[in-house]
């Protein structure tokens, strides 16, 4: 992408990347929806969504079966936080839109929505460095565009409704296969009411040189967003996908529950980057998993800064020989936030390798939790996992937890897990203040230093914004 060395040093002025600046996201426009499934979730809600989308019968059956699973499953509070009990599923609005067909040019996008995305810098980003953009406003994509050169290579980049309707021969095969409906209560919920999200297909050997980006926006109060993303990278292809998300601060809590499935066929590479900056009353409960075939590589770069509660453990099922999986995770939990994040690595073939690096920062009364699963079942050979978890605690009342679970069978594999907890030392802060930095500046610099080796892996625009955002979060953390 760019010369990374200069990135941390050069905060480019005015580079507002979509989806990261919390203050940039805190505005909203009047609501006026042509399609509204009302509040609460019953079979009628699912019927309504399916009818609006004019879906094939198999999709409706899939949704209804998922609804049953969702209703039957208890909340996972035997291991997860009881804060989940504060979600009132009956008060949530499950579908809101003004039609399903996304606009292909900015001119066609309705003015109020256009203004929203312009304020968040989407068109600017597209011009600057993206191969394609999809911008979702509540339930449906308001705008979707892919650069002509990329689509000429045979790359498909559409929303979920369109993907299942126009290209079932490609997407149906993998839809719901990486993450089965019953994987967990929230994947079942998503499977029942999903709308929007990106369906991407990259043909064999095609290397998409610039990232594809999706931008998710919740605009309506009490609205639940349930996008569904499926990316298939055919043999030997490569693609990078980035997503950002924001919502205005409502007085009531809101739910975002996505399902993201990745399929990397033989030798393919997928990199999936998330910068999550939901407002602090969003429950963000997301299931993300990739399936890596022989010699394929899936890398999740997952950065969580916003939301009230995030529960998200991106995973890779290493299905083919020599497949590689990686999760790079950054979490920042401020007052009133709980970032419950981590990774899952399921080794299912010989010589597969996985790597997890997770760094969290807890500020004020923020709480960050790492949960990890590394599973190497019997009769596999030459599998390796390396996990590093580091937590930085800023204030005396900050909290961090680490709960890894590692299972290894057989004598031909090796697994290593290391974790540490530290704080920014008083001597370090004094040293920096002696050079003229304020306490808050010194703290920001230390925190950015703590995650510097990870932010270097981000595309430049994101790493610069991330730094700026951390500066914002660190203000007021001292004293």
Partner 1 sequence: MPAPSPTLPARAIGGFTAEAFAAHLESQAGAPAWWLERKRAAYATFAALPLPARTDERWRFSTVQGIDLGSCVPATGAAPLPAVLPVKAAASLVFVNNRLVSRSAPSAELESRGVVVTTISEALRRHEPLLKAHFMAQAQRLGSEKFASLHIAFLADGAFIHIPRGVELSEPILVTHAVSGADAAIFPHTLVVADENSRAAVVDSFVSIPGTGADSRQLAVGANDLYAGHGSRLAYAAVQDWSRETLSLQLNASIARRDARIQSLNIHLGGRQSRHESLSELQAPGAYSEMLALTVASGTQEFDQRTHQMHQAPNTKSDLLYKNALLDSSRTIFSGLIVVDPDAQKTDAYQSNRNLVLSENAEANSLPGLEIQANDVRCTHGATTTRIDPEQEFYLLSRGIPRAAAHKLLVTAFFEEVLARLEDAALHDAILGLIRTKLDGAALA
Partner 2 sequence: MSSLEIKNLHVSIGAKEIIKGLTLTIGAGEVHALMGPNGTGKSTLSKAIAGHPDYTVTQGDVLLDGKSILKMEPDERARAGIFLAFQYPSEIPGVSIANFIRSAVQAKLGEGEELDASGYYKRLYEKMDLLKIDRKFTSRAVNDGFSGGEKKRCEILQMAMLAPKFALMDETDSGLDIDALRIVSEGVNQLRGPGLGILLITHYQRLLDYIVPDKVHVMWDGRIVREGDKSLALELEAKGYDWVKKEFATA
Instruction: Give residues in contact with partner 2 (CB under 8 A).
Output: 5, 8-10, 13, 425-428, 430-439, 441-442, 445-446, 448-453
- Binds 451: which of partner 2, partner 1, none (CB < 5-8 Å by kind): partner 2
Candidates 35-43, 48-56, 95-103, 413-421; binding stretch for partner 1 (CB under 8 A): 413-421
Nearest Cα to Cα of residue 204 among 241, 232, 231, 236: 236
Residues 6 or more apart in contact with residue 200 via CB below 8 angstroms: 155, 156, 157, 212, 229, 230, 231, 232, 239, 241
**Among residues 423, 428, 437, 471, the one that binds partner 1 under rule CB under 8 A:** 423
C-alpha to C-alpha distance for 210 and 177, rounded to whole angstroms: 28
User: Shortest Cβ distance from residue 113 to partner 2 (Å)?
Assistant: 35
- Binds 435: which of partner 1, partner 2, none (CB < 5-8 Å by kind): partner 2
Dihedral angle sign, alpha carbons of residues 163, 167, 168, 171: negative
**Among residues 16, 406, 429, 472, the one that binds partner 1 under rule CB under 8 A:** 406
The b-or-e profile of 287-300 (16+ CB within 10 A means b, else e) is bbbbbbbbbbbbbb
Residues 6 or more apart in contact with residue 97 via CB below 8 angstroms: 33, 34, 35, 52, 138, 139, 140, 195
Q: Which is nearer to partner 1, 93 or 367 (CB)?
A: 367
DSSP summary character for residue 155: -
- Asked whether the beta carbons of 284 and 310 are under 8 A apart, the reply is yes
DSSP letters spanning 298-325: EEEEEEE---SEEEE--EEEE-STT-EE
Does the footprint of partner 1 cover residue 439 (CB under 8 A)?
Answer: no
Q: Which is nearer to partner 2, 74 or 479 (CB)?
A: 479
- Asked whether the beta carbons of 175 and 63 are under 8 A apart, the reply is no
Does the footprint of partner 1 cover residue 428 (CB under 8 A)?
Answer: no
Residues 6 or more apart in contact with residue 466 via CB below 8 angstroms: 20, 275, 303, 305, 330, 455, 458
Candidates 174-182, 274-282, 287-295, 420-428; binding stretch for partner 1 (CB under 8 A): 420-428
Does the footprint of partner 1 cover residue 383 (CB under 8 A)?
Answer: no
Does the footprint of partner 1 cover residue 82 (CB under 8 A)?
Answer: no
User: Shortest Cβ distance from residue 182 to partner 1 (Å)?
Assistant: 15
Does the footprint of partner 1 cover residue 427 (CB under 8 A)?
Answer: no
Size of the chain in residues: 479
**Among residues 24, 419, 429, 478, the one that binds partner 1 under rule CB under 8 A:** 419
Candidates 157-165, 227-235, 339-347, 398-406; binding stretch for partner 1 (CB under 8 A): 398-406
Does the footprint of partner 1 cover residue 412 (CB under 8 A)?
Answer: yes
Candidates 121-129, 182-190, 220-228, 404-412; binding stretch for partner 1 (CB under 8 A): 404-412
C-alpha to C-alpha distance for 110 and 42, rounded to whole angstroms: 31
Residues in contact with partner 1, counted by CB under 8 A, come to a total of: 36
- Binds 10: which of partner 2, partner 1, none (CB < 5-8 Å by kind): partner 2
Does the footprint of partner 1 cover residue 172 (CB under 8 A)?
Answer: no
DSSP letters spanning 242-255: EEEEE----SS-EE
Does the footprint of partner 1 cover residue 391 (CB under 8 A)?
Answer: yes
Does the footprint of partner 1 cover residue 420 (CB under 8 A)?
Answer: yes
Per CB under 8 A, residues contacting partner 1 are 78-79, 378-379, 391, 393-423
């Amino acid at each position: 992408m760019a010369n990374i060395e200069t990135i941390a040093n050069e905060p480019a002025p005015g580079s507002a990347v979509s989806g990261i600046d919390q203050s940039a996201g805190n505005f909203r426009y009047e609501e006026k929806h042509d399609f509204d499934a009302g509040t609460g979730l019953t079979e009628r809600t699912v019927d309504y969504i399916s009818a609006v989308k004019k879906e094939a019968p198999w999709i409706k059956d899939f949704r209804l079966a998922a609804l049953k699973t969702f209703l039957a499953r208890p909340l996972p509070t035997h291991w997860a936080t009881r804060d989940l009990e504060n979600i009132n599923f009956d008060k949530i609005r499950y579908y809101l839109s003004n039609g399903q067909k996304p606009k292909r040019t900015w001119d066609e996008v309705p003015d109020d929505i256009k203004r929203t995305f312009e304020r968040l810098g989407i068109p600017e980003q597209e011009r600057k460095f993206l191969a394609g953009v999809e911008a979702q406003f509540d339930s449906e994509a308001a705008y979707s565009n892919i650069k002509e050169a990329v689509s000429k290579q045979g790359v498909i980049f559409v929303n979920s409704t369109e993907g299942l309707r126009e290209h079932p021969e490609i997407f149906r095969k993998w839809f719901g296969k990486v993450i089965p409906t019953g994987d967990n209560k929230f994947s079942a919920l998503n499977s029942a009411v999903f709308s929007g999200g990106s369906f991407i297909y990259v043909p064999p050997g095609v290397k998409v040189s610039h990232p594809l980006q999706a931008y998710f926006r919740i605009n309506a109060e009490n609205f639940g967003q349930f996008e569904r993303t499926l990316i298939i990278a055919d043999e030997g292809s490569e693609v990078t996908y980035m997503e950002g998300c924001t919502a205005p601060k409502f007085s009531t809590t809101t739910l975002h529950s996505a399902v993201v499935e990745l399929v990397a066929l033989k030798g393919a590479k997928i990199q999936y980057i998330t910068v999550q900056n939901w407002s602090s009353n969003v429950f963000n409960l997301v299931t993300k998993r990739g399936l890596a075939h022989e010699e394929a590589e899936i890398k999740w770069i997952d950065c969580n800064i916003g939301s009230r509660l995030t529960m998200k453990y991106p995973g890779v099922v290493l299905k083919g020989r020599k497949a590689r999986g990686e999760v790079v995770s950054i979490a920042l939990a401020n007052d009133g936030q709980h970032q419950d994040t981590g990774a899952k690595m399921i080794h299912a073939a010989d010589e597969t390798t996985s790597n997890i690096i997770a760094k969290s920062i807890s500020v004020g009364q923020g709480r960050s939790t790492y949960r990890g699963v590394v599973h190497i079942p019997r009769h596999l050979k030459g599998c390796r996992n390396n996990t590093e978890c580091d937590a930085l605690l800023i204030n005396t009342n900050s909290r961090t937890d680490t709960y890894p679970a590692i299972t290894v069978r057989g004598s031909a594999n090796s697994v290593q897990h290391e974790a540490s907890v530290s704080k920014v030392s008083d001597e370090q802060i004094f040293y920096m203040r002696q050079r003229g930095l304020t306490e808050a500046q010194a703290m920001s610099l230390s925190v950015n230093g703590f995650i510097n080796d990870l932010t270097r892996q981000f595309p430049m625009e994101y790493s610069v914004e991330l730094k700026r955002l951390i500066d914002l979060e660190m203000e007021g953390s001292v004293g």
